[in-house]
Structure 1
Amino acid sequence: MELSPLTPLKQSGDVLFLMLGAVMVFAMHAGFAFLEVGTVRKKSQVNAFVKILTDWSVSTVVYFLIGFPLAYGISFLKPADELLKAAQGYDLVKFFFLLCFAACIPAIISGGIAERAKFWPQVIAGAVFAGLCYPLFESLVWGRNASFLQGLFKSIGGAEFHDYAGSVVVHSIGGWLALPAVLLLGARRGRYSHGRSHPIPVSNIPFLALGSWILAIGWFGFNVMSAGNLEKISGLVAVNSLLAMVGGVLAALVAGRNDPGFIHNGALAGLIAVCAGSDLMHPLGALATGAIAAVIFVYGFQYEQEKLRIDDVLGVWPLHGVIGTWGGIAAGIFGQTWLGGIGGVSFVSQVAGSLVAVLFACVSGFAVYGLLKKTIGIRLDDEDEFNGPDLAIHKIGAYPEDNIR
């Protein structure tokens, strides 16, 4: 069949559209870095920057060679001219875009295990997650194996599991993978002692705030460009993302009693929660989704740290894991037509899909980190932890002039 003269233009537009989305989500990794740098102590700031960039680089290679082919059945091991034949290289930018999602997994985990984890074991764990574990789950929801799991959800709930931009596939998986790592590592030295909690103050509120802002801006690429091409772009997704973020900020402002850490993470809580149903909800439903998410984070973080005594440095389990799960469920609530949503979504399927992700991530996390702990170890020794990972691992601090005598 003869192609329309406009076909190359449309293909070019789609390639550009998705490439711009990929760049925006790529920029979010700077947000992950600054959020962690601002939260950890000065002796751990260099390590945070290096971890995020290294995990990104390793994730790129393993997702290119293994993960993307596993999830979508598309291999790039062919001549370059053949790679361009398919819609002017659309599959290549699709890989770039979805790589940014896959690389979020080790970036999320990095914040939970900060300040006491060995460097190379975490790089290995990140490679396994980005190259194998995450793509496997991705294939079951979005990819080439989706018919099996989605068919199961449809049979029990009347509709497939809906996760438009990854509340569950990305954030819940990342947060629940982090929980086993944090538990197996144990708390930082001095965090809990003599039966009491001793909170460790953050090092830099402006860096923490900068990280939140970078993430929030990039999130519009994360959500809006999940459309995949220009024809499917949705203004509803953009506005729902905005209102969920604002709902998160305002709720965290009240629940967190003006605490800047809660406020800036509240914005992220709202954005995480709205990913799944951002294409379905009414904007007021998105506002409520984000507000509830922020309240979950504020009280969930306090409960995790003080009651459960889990030293999850950035609170990635409640922020990404629990709120990602809430996002999947929220799509099944606020996506309903009687609440102003578009419909076509099942509450039962959303709960089932969200819980399957929790189970998958926990089993994968305990398996990978348990094996690493028993073989090469995952925690710095006491002296290196006391000196800090910057000096112990990278041989330089964040402020080298301070080391001059």
Structure 2
Amino acid sequence: MEQQQGADVFFLLVGAILVFAMHGGFAFLEVGTVRHKNQVNALVKILVDFAISTTVYFAIGYTLSYGITFFAAAQTISAGQGYELVKFFFLATFAAAVPAIISGGIAERARFLPQCAATALMVGLAYPLIEGTVWNRNFGLQDHLFASILGAPFKDFAGSIVVHAFGGWAAFAAIRQLGPRIGRYDRSRPMSPPPSSIPWLAMGSWLLCIGWFGFNVMSAQNLRAESGLVAINSLMAMCGGILAALLAGRNDPGFVHNGALAGLVAICAGSDVMHPIGAFLTGAIAGGLFVTMFQVSTNKWRIDDVLGVWALHGLCGLWGGIACGIFGLAALGGMGGVTFQSQLVGSVLGAAFGFVAGTIVYWVVHSAFGLRLSPDEERRGADISIHKISANPEDDVRLGRL
């Protein structure tokens, strides 16, 4: 028994470390996408957001989700070889992904400390409500609405809705609150600043892809529930997303590397119930959806979403929750135990809650502190305006820019 418990602790600890490494992926994906004058800000935001998220999740969020608190003696909270502590670590890395997602959407124009305040509110109060509802059956929705009325509990194995759709739709609300960057839509044709570094963007994507196998596979949370199906489905969805984005994006490297992430976002919900062919199709649809909707939303609808997080996480996450109710059906080669209507309703409700939570939190923060950089600060760049240093300070000193 102790040996099994110790193995579960180690298993989940490896998963927590892998998902923690994904935050480096979030950072470098943003570093490579934003302009050079905002690279330092991208790095600092992701790290500080992680620290704030973990702190408020420890103090408030985890208790709201699971009814467990760690304000007791170390001997008490480390019972069972500390499994509950490692579970907290694992799930804290999920919670911290929400502000990391939002960060990419509102990059280059958000003030630092107000954004930190928004992170605390999102992770400490808003995110635990959807997490506890779906993964801990809080409020009775899983039993009374989904299982009794819609035929099966709402399934989100690794967070297509709980993490990605929630974060993506909250980001959409924050983007609307902030408005576009200066000069983005001043001309008849939208002006899209080019990425500062394709290699850093690609590195961010690779880090996220590698860590995602901890995000999905270790969501079983113990060795007895582990299944190789989750790993192969994640792999196939990632490949489907890459190939679809390659075709839809006409070889654009930014779309290709984000296509991998689109496929992985979409497969989270149903990775333990789909057939690998269904997973590939889920990822491929997500890859095409991301490319199409990123172009439509930023160019035609003039939604200045710097990293395309609404299309990538909000829409592909929403699709992933629904896709679980299609390709997870036994009739289509899946494991069954899901219904289309349950997945459709749960996915839409989860996305809508993300938008409502984001609207409230970012309106409150903007009203209280002011969320946006001044025009002069934005033109100067967040690195110098906020952190008083650029990504290459030695070069700036040598050339007389500082």
TM-score (norm 1): 0.97
Give the one of 334, 338, 344 matched to 2:327: 334
Report the equivalent of 1:10: 4
Matched residue SS, 2:81: coil
Within 1, Cα distance between the matches of 2:388 and 2:187?
Answer: 33
Amino acid at match of 1:128: L
Within 2, Cα distance between the matches of 1:236 and 1:390?
Answer: 44
Per-residue deviation, 1:150: 4.1
Report the equivalent of 2:358: 365
Report the equivalent of 1:398: 391
Report the equivalent of 2:94: 101
Give the one of 235, 248, 253 matched to 2:241: 248
Output one character per residue of 1:226-268: Cα deviation in whole Å (capped at 9) or x when no partner. 0010111110000000000000001111111000000000000
8 Å Cα contact 1:153-1:161 kept in structure 2:
yes
8 Å Cα contact 1:151-1:160 kept in structure 2:
no
Within 2, Cα distance between the matches of 1:150 and 1:194?
Answer: 53
8 Å Cα contact 2:137-2:143 kept in structure 1:
no
Residue pairs, 1:4-403, within 5 angstroms: 7-85=1-79, 87-143=80-136, 145=138, 147-403=140-396
Amino acid at match of 1:181: A
Matched residue SS, 1:277: coil
Within 1, Cα distance between the matches of 2:144 and 2:150?
Answer: 10
8 Å Cα contact 1:40-1:114 kept in structure 2:
yes
Within 2, Cα distance between the matches of 1:150 and 1:203?
Answer: 49
Report the equivalent of 1:3: none
8 Å Cα contact 1:25-1:97 kept in structure 2:
yes
Per-residue deviation, 1:375: 2.0
8 Å Cα contact 2:248-2:291 kept in structure 1:
yes
Matched residue SS, 1:196: coil
Within 2, Cα distance between the matches of 1:320 and 1:190?
Answer: 26
Within 2, Cα distance between the matches of 1:59 and 1:148?
Answer: 26
8 Å Cα contact 1:73-1:144 kept in structure 2:
no
Within 2, Cα distance between the matches of 1:42 and 1:229?
Answer: 43
Q: Unaligned stretches of 5+ in structure 1?
A: 1-6
Amino acid at match of 1:38: G
Per-residue deviation, 1:402: 2.4
Per-residue deviation, 1:372: 1.6
Per-residue deviation, 1:184: 1.0
Within 2, Cα distance between the matches of 1:83 and 1:153?
Answer: 34
Per-residue deviation, 1:144: 5.1
Matched residue SS, 1:32: helix
Within 2, Cα distance between the matches of 1:278 and 1:128?
Answer: 30
Amino acid at match of 1:80: A
Q: Which stretches of structure 1, 4 residues or longer, exceed 2 Å deviation after superposition?
A: 146-151
Output one character per residue of 1:333-362: Cα deviation in whole Å (capped at 9) or x when no partner. 000111110111010000000111122111
Per-residue deviation, 1:320: 0.2
Aligned pair count reads 398
8 Å Cα contact 1:140-1:150 kept in structure 2:
no
Per-residue deviation, 1:148: 3.0
Per-residue deviation, 1:147: 3.2
Amino acid at match of 1:258: N
Per-residue deviation, 1:168: 0.3
8 Å Cα contact 1:116-1:379 kept in structure 2:
yes
Matched residue SS, 2:194: coil
8 Å Cα contact 1:150-1:161 kept in structure 2:
no
Matched residue SS, 2:108: coil
Per-residue deviation, 1:146: 5.6
8 Å Cα contact 1:121-1:377 kept in structure 2:
yes
Within 1, Cα distance between the matches of 2:144 and 2:224?
Answer: 27
Amino acid at match of 1:73: G
Per-residue deviation, 1:328: 0.1
Within 1, Cα distance between the matches of 2:142 and 2:270?
Answer: 19
What RMSD, in angstroms, separates the aligned Cα atoms of the two structures? Answer: 0.9
Amino acid at match of 2:4: K
Per-residue deviation, 1:199: 1.1
Within 1, Cα distance between the matches of 2:63 and 2:298?
Answer: 39
TM-score (norm 2): 0.98
Per-residue deviation, 1:64: 0.4
